[in-house]
């Protein structure tokens, strides 16, 4: 079984975080080191370490991550101008916490997706 991460403790509210949304499938909270004016992490409440570990049984939670991102983007006032959704996978993808998470980033022009 995969090891719990800091995100598991945030989901259970055992450690403080600025939680902006939580339901039975996902939890969303502000990134502690934001890369843009709006930088929110949306995580499934069950531990899925990486995108490689996603299976059909996770589809409800993974889909909810995107619908919640759209809801939060609207609430944050960034939906109309646009935003970026990012899921990093493993070392080369830049994943730092091994509990799959969707970055909702916006509030300013973000430039090219990958710097050359």
Please give the positions annotated as active site.
Answer: 101
Nearest residue to 64 (alpha-carbon basis) of 23, 100, 96: 23
Q: What is the DSSP letter of 22?
A: E
Distance from C-alpha of 103 to C-alpha of 55, rounded to nearest angstrom = 20
Helical H segments across the chain, by residue range: 6-11, 59-76, 90-93
Contacts 24+ apart (CB under 8 A), 31-34: 31/103
- Asked if 50 contacts 31 with a C-beta cutoff of 8 angstroms, the reply is no
User: Encoding tokens for residue 27?
Assistant: 């939890």
């Amino acid at each position: 079984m995969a090891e719990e991460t800091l995100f598991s403790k945030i989901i259970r509210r055992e450690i403080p975080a600025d939680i902006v949304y939580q339901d039975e499938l996902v939890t969303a909270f502000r990134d502690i080191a934001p890369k843009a004016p709006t930088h929110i992490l949306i995580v499934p409440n069950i531990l899925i370490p990486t995108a490689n570990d996603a299976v059909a049984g996770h589809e409800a939670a993974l889909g909810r991550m995107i619908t919640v991102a759209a809801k939060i983007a609207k609430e944050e006032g960034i939906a109309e101008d646009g935003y970026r959704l990012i899921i990093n996978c493993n070392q080369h993808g830049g994943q730092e916490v091994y509990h799959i998470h969707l970055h909702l980033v916006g509030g300013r022009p973000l430039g090219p997706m990958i710097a050359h």
